[in-house]
């Protein structure tokens, strides 16, 4: 396995990958399990008992052989595994709430920690929009930025093409070996050679619709800011812009003609306070002088207790609904410390009775 050097030994890195691939363990519960038990090795040992305490009939960990097969598949494609806690894990992404537990990469992993800026936009982009994206990406690269995008048709592909000579990062919805769309296969190969391909999904995973919001979250999380070139009002690009705002990143928008529906997204972002972007000078000025240093919502609630009272688990479960509810609101409702409620929610999620969401939210 090709792996970066870092503070974690191989047993812990293996355990973190196995924990990340465990049913009912998402990014929120992964981080909380590490906080509670210190290591993934200890968390894996505790999982079955935690799930049973919250009412799960049984709880199976992924077989060791499945994790070994994923590592072997990564080695066969000359991919590098980066787990949360590795020295090579990009620090900007580690600061989001919550960070992806693991990343697979192909290419130069060091680009992920560079001066990164994302560029996204319409798949069915105008010729003018593609020209703007390509030229802006080229200028950003020459100014020292690493351009991040999603390898989609249109604006994404133009952004990657413009920044290839200086380094570009493509975040995929499927595994790092899933070239999607297939007509970007040549661009994919160039990025492997000159940039970096990134995914949180296992090797061999094929992109599904549910994967793209998570991919968009990584695009914005890796970056200091997000530039939207062309996008309709209901589009994945505007979702990426919203996520960027939630993560404390700056949002830039390239203005366009009001006669083109692909300009409605950037123009609406400008109305909402996005930074006008007509060139690299606007990006540099925005990051250096207009940027407010906002921290993403934290997850600090104190140390979870070693054992959560079973009655509290049921009281918290009774308060949950399909509507996401803040954790501190649940704590007030049942008169318990937030740390104890967080522990109860973690065990309920492992039992399949709750869903943990970013920002300290939980739902049925």
Q: How far apart are CA 32 and CA 21, in angstroms?
A: 15
Rounded to the nearest 5°, which phi and psi values hold at 250?
A: -80, 145
Q: What is the pLDDT of residues 183-213, one digit of tens each?
A: 999 999 999 999 999 999 999 999 888 888 8
**pTM of the entire predicted model:** 0.83
Domains (ranges, CATH) in the chain?
Answer: 10-89+97-102 (no CATH), 109-290 (3.40.50.450), 310-363 (1.10.10.10)
Q: pLDDT confidence of 301, banded at 50, 70, 90?
A: low
Q: What is the pLDDT of residues 22-55, one digit of tens each?
A: 988 899 889 989 988 999 999 999 888 887 877 7
The CB density around residue 57, as the number of other CB atoms within 10 Å, is: 8
How many helices (H) and strands (E) in the chain?
15, 12
The string of DSSP letters for 77-108 reads TT-EEEETTSTTS-HHHHTSSSPPSEEEEEE-
Q: Which of 137, 208, 129 is nearest to 169 (CA)?
A: 137
Q: What is the pLDDT of residues 327-342, one digit of tens each?
A: 778 877 777 787 787 7
pLDDT average, residue stretch 228-236: 88
Joined tokens for residue 345: 């929610």
* Residue 350 exposure: Cα atoms within 13 Å on the Cβ side: 30
CA–CA distances in Å: residue 264 to residues 122, 135, 233, 238, 274: 11, 21, 6, 11, 13
pLDDT average, residue stretch 63-86: 95
Percent of the chain with pLDDT over 90: 52
Contact 81, 3 (CB under 8 A): yes
For the chain, what is the radius of gyration of the CA atoms? 21
8-state DSSP, 153: T
CA–CA distances in Å: residue 31 to residues 34, 95, 235, 244, 309: 5, 12, 30, 21, 21
* pLDDT surpassing 90 at residue 14: yes
Q: How far apart are CA 282 and CA 252, in angstroms?
A: 9
Q: How far apart are CA 113 and CA 173, in angstroms?
A: 20
65 by Cβ neighbours in 10 Å (0-12 / 13-18 / 19+) ranks as: exposed
* pLDDT surpassing 90 at residue 247: no
Joined tokens for residue 304: 């979870």
Buried b (16+ CB within 10 A) or exposed e, 73-87: bbeebebbbbbbbbe
């Amino acid at each position: 396995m090709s792996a970066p050097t870092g503070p974690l030994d191989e047993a812990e890195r293996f355990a973190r990958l196995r924990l990340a691939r465990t049913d009912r363990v998402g990014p929120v519960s992964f981080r909380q399990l590490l906080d509670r038990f210190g290591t993934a090795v200890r968390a894996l040992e505790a999982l079955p008992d935690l799930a049973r305490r919250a009412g799960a009939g049984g709880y199976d960990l992924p077989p060791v052989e499945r994790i070994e097969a994923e590592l072997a598949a990564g080695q066969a494609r000359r991919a590098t595994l980066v787990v949360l806690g590795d020295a090579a894990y990009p620090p900007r992404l580690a600061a989001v709430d919550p960070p992806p537990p693991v990343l697979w990469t192909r290419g130069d992993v060091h680009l992920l920690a560079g001066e990164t800026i994302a560029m996204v936009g319409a798949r069915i982009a105008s010729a003018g929009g593609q020209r703007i994206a390509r030229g802006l990406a080229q200028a950003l690269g020459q100014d020292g930025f690493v351009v991040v995008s999603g390898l989609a048709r249109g604006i994404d592909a133009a952004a990657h093409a413009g920044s290839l000579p200086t380094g570009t990062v493509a975040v995929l919805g499927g595994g790092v070996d899933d070239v999607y769309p297939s007509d970007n296969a040549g661009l994919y190969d160039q990025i492997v050679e000159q940039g970096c391909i990134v995914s949180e999904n296992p090797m061999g995973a094929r992109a599904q619709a549910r994967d793209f919001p998570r991919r968009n979250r990584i695009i914005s999380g890796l970056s200091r800011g997000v530039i939207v070139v062309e996008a309709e009002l209901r589009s994945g690009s505007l979702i990426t812009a919203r996520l960027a705002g939630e993560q404390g990143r700056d949002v830039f928008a390239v203005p366009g003609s009001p006669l083109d529906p692909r300009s409605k997204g950037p123009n609406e972002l400008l109305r909402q306070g996005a930074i006008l972007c007509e060139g690299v000078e606007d990006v540099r000025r925005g990051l250096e002088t207009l940027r407010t240093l906002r921290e993403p919502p934290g997850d600090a609630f104190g140390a979870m207790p070693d054992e959560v009272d079973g009655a509290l688990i049921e009281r918290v479960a009774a308060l949950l609904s399909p509507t996401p509810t803040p954790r501190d609101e649940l704590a007030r409702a049942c008169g318990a410390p937030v740390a104890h409620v967080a522990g109860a929610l973690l065990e309920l999620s492992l039992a399949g009775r709750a869903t943990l969401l970013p920002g300290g939210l939980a739902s049925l």
